[in-house]
Amino acid sequence: MKTRIWLVTALAFALTSPVFADKRGDAKARVEFGIIAAQKGLWTEATSVWERAVQIDDSYGQAWNNLAVGYEQLGKFDQARKAYEKALELEPGNNFIRNNYDQFREIYDRQNRRRDK
């Protein structure tokens, strides 16, 4: 019985782990590429690459953070808010994401305040 449990666990690990690693690895490569694009001011390209990264691995909080920053730079504030919230849901203790979000909220709230008028 113990051997069976061990076998099932090992099989599950063997099946899922490489897939997860590949997904994260693929998404991470795109995230890094997006960062290079953003550093050159190519926000449309960077955002598009990060959109693909979160499609590949939607549990990648850092990618959601970058995507949020990208949306913010393109003026897509509602999408940026959702992406930041997703990033914080995945990485609740990440102060970098929290700081980005706080700074974004100042602008977002100002924009929304004016829409009400």
Partner 1 sequence: MTARTAVAISSAVAALATVGCLNFYEIPVETPIHAKLDSSPFQRVLVAGFLSGGSKSIDPNTETARLLRSQLRTKSQMRVIDADAISLVDEVDKRNGTAPPPSDEPRIMTEKDLESYESIFTDAAFWKKLGEEYQGPLIVTGSVLFTEVSKQGMVSRPVSSVDQYGRPTVNEVRNFSSMKGFALAPKFVFIDGRTGAVLYSESFHEEALYQESQTTPALSSYFELMDKLLPGFLNTLSSQKIRGTRILLK
- The two structure tokens encoding residue 100: 């980005």
Tell me which of 47, 49, 57, 66 binds partner 1, using CB under 8 A.
Answer: 66
User: Residue 59 is which amino acid?
Assistant: S
Residue identified by tokens 């994260």 is 24
Q: Quick check: 117 binds partner 1 (CB under 8 A)?
A: yes
Q: Return the closest-CA partner of residue 65 out of 34, 29, 41.
A: 34
Q: Quick check: 47 binds partner 1 (CB under 8 A)?
A: no
Phi, psi of 78 (to 5 degrees): -65, -40
Q: How far is the CB of 39 from partner 1 (least distance, A)?
A: 6
Q: Where on the chain is the footprint of partner 1 (CB under 8 A)? A: 28, 31-32, 34-35, 38-39, 61-62, 65-66, 69, 72-73, 75, 94, 96-97, 99-100, 103-104, 107, 110-111, 114, 117
